[in-house]
Amino acid sequence: MTGRYRAVVIGIGNEFRRDDGAGPAVVDRLRGEAPAGVRLVVSDGEPAGLMEAWTGTDLAVVVDAVSGGSAPPGRLYRVTVHGGDGRELDDVGAGASTHGLGLGTAIRLSRVLARMPGALIVHAVEGADFGYGPGLSAAVDRVLSELVTAVLADLRPPPPLPGTRARRR
Amino acid sequence: MTHRYDRRLTAAAIARVEGEGALHVQVVEDEVREVRLDIYEPPRFFEAFLRGRSYTEPPDITARVCGICPVAYQTSAYQAIEALCGVQPGEGIAALRRLLYCGEWIASHALHVYMLHAPDFLGYPGAVEMAADHRDAVERGLSLRRAGNAIMELLGGRAVHPVNVRVGGFYSVPGPAALAGLRAQLESALEPALETVSWVSAFDFPDLTVEHELLALTEPGRYPIERGTVMTSGGLAFDAAEFEQHVIEEQVPHSTALHARLADRDGTYLTGPLARYTLNSRWLPPLAAAAAHAAGLRDSCRNPFRSIIVRAVEIVCALEEAIAIIGAYEQPPAASVPVRARAGTGHGVSEAPRGVLYQRYDLDGDGIVLAARIVPPTSQNQAAIERDLAQFVQARLSLDDEALTRACEQAIRNYDPCISCATHFLRMHVDRA
């Protein structure tokens, strides 16, 4: 460890399943906009891959689309993950197959293996259309800038760590 | 012990498999009447939407069939098209293709051995629970998967659905320096791979010996991965072009995946690690052969529960092969060779981690796909899995429904079924009605 602050943004989703591509779309928009040194990763949500992406980081910001049922499309959520056993992010409606393993599994496995990031923030957007094909629905597209801004706010340089000197980024 | 005469057991959604399926078992008067592997994952129509596409597209389209074994799909696809067009890209490109496939074997087998299969033997509901008590083991599995993915990322452009494979070769090939960096990572993965063989060989394995005809590729002189001649334990040997003469696919009402049988035989056969090992163990490279011997594997292995040892041995094999390929690497003069379309039919086979994967393409003179056929390993294995489960359940009828259902799910995971590939998979239902 060099002592350098390390952050990663992980966009989860499939850009060929309409609004499921919201996470990757945010990562695309962050290219050139995210502070230097922030790693940008697109993920299919596979737990080992998620864990690899955030191991050793001070901050991991995960962006994903959700389908909660009753919430209006385009609604934004922000969840800070600390404490608990990770079940707060169990994959709602997921099946038992490996296709259903996701963020909740990655968090629980990371806790057991002491691989959690220093902080984990999850941004989610309620999707309208998870059908086949590229492109976001109008409802999700409309809030994408707001979502990018919210992620950027989480990526602001942290206050100097105790005992270290502030550095220019 | 239960004293009911008729029982119906159901596993409604089988866990730790790729895709969605269910199992129904009907027991009448202490006799297993029927075992039905219901694959209810929707059909995916890949063969239909390959029609009308250019001959250059199947490696990219078929890679999307599976996130675990995309390289297998790409490989059988380009083989079929290159065979049809009369092109052989040369040994330099062939070596890099085998290296890429080694990456897929390592990543896929490490996932199955550690995250999907080992919890069964150690009595945990899943990998997360197992990790609490076996942290070092899970870390070892993750490091192996990382090594496999590193190969996929370097040669394939990314670990899932690689984008660097094309008919005729690759879009770009790495220089020797990039491969040298990879070699160091693979060499450091050898020790954890050998520890994996030793670790799984100490598990308790239920008794089960299957008598199916076994079907795998063989390639004298080396362990089959990306190419070979189809052979069976019953003495059949044929090229990819004759596959459909020997393997008959049939629809069954309870599955969206076609069942397969061998023509002119009693039918059921098994492909995958047991078949591959039994027909090819003599061609394992030295470290893998020594590890197999130390783990108690003989020349053949017909207990599906012990397939976890074979997979671990195959991780060692793939690492050895990959390191040897890198050691002998000379960058090919071009990343690909030109492939001109011609009308006709081409066939390709390769050894996906789960077994032989066959593809056939019919092209017109402009290189447009007129027809495509994909025969994945899990669909070939369905009938064998059902037969093995009937035998397995019959010997364990004294178990209560819950224990028997759990045992059946474990037995199914022996085959590492990839239902998504096959749908064209588990809820379990045992009927002792």
Q: Give residue-wise pLDDT tens across range B293-330.
A: 999 999 999 999 999 999 999 999 999 999 999 999 99
Q: B148 and chain A: CB distance < 8 Å anywhere?
A: no
Q: Has residue B371 been placed in a domain?
A: yes
Residues of chain A contacting residue B420, judged by C-beta atoms under 8 Å apart: 99
Residues A72-83 have a mean pLDDT of 87
> B306: Cβ–Cβ under 8 A, 6 or more apart, which residues?
B205, B274, B297
pTM of the full structure: 0.87
Q: From the CA of A17, how many Å to the nearest CA of chain B?
A: 13
**Type of residue found at A74:** G
In a domain, B308, yes or no: no
Burial label for A38, CB within 10 Å (0-12, 13-18, 19+), is buried
What average pLDDT does the segment A11-35 reach? 93
Which residues does B123 contact at the CB level (< 8 Å), separation at least 6? none
Q: What does the pLDDT look like over B177-200, one tens digit per residue?
A: 999 999 999 999 999 999 999 999
Domains and their CATH numbers in chain A:
7-154 (3.40.50.1450)
Residues in A whose CB is inside 8 Å of some CB of B read 44, 46, 48-49, 51-52, 95-99, 105, 108-109, 112-113
Residue B119 belongs to a domain: yes
Residue of A44, A95, A112 with shortest CB distance to B131: A112
Strands, DSSP E only, in B165-311? 165-166, 169-170, 213-218, 229-232, 237-238, 247-250, 259-262, 269-271
Note whether residue B128 is domain-resident. Answer: yes
Who's near B45: CB < 8 A, 6+ residues apart? none
From B419, B33, B70, B357, select the one nearest B216 (Cα to Cα). B357
Nearest CB to B18; choose among A48, A52, A98 = A98
Q: Report how many domains make up chain B.
A: 1
B16 CB near a chain A CB, below 8 Å?
yes
| pLDDT, mean of residues B390-399 | 90
Sign of CA dihedral B105, B158, B50, A19: positive
Positive/negative CA dihedral, B297, B298, B303, B304: positive
Residue B65 lies in a domain: yes
CA dist B344 and B398 (Å) reads 56
Cα distances from B195 to residues B21, B191, B204, in angstroms, run 33, 6, 17
Give the pLDDT of residue A116.
Answer: 94
Nearest-Cα distance to chain A for B144, in Å, is 11
Taking the C-alpha atoms of residue A15 and residue A23, their distance in angstroms, rounded to an integer, is 9
pLDDT of residue A99: 47
Band of pLDDT at residue A94, cut at 50, 70 and 90: very low
pLDDT of res. B425 = 33
Q: Do B22 and B36 contact (CB within 8 A), yes or no?
A: no
Tell me whether residue B275 is in a domain. no
Lowest mean pLDDT among A4-8, A43-47, A55-59, B97-101: A43-47
**A-chain residue closest to B159, CA distance:** A49
From chain B, the residues in CB contact with A98 under 8 A are 16-18, 111, 115-116
pLDDT in tens, B36-91: 887 766 667 888 889 999 999 999 999 988 778 899 999 999 999 999 999 999 99
Distance between CA A38 and CA A61 in Å, rounded? 10
The answer to whether residue B292 sits within a structural domain is no
Q: What's the rounded Cα separation, in Å, for the pair B417 and B21?
A: 10
Q: Within a domain: residue B212?
A: no
Alpha-carbon dihedral angle through residues A78, A118, B112, B349, given to the nearest 10 degrees: 70
CATH of the domain at B363: 1.10.645.10
Neighbours of B209 (CB within 10 A): 10
Q: Which domain holds residue B403?
A: 6-206+328-431
User: What's the token pair of residue A130?
Assistant: 């998870």
Q: What is the ipTM of this complex?
A: 0.72
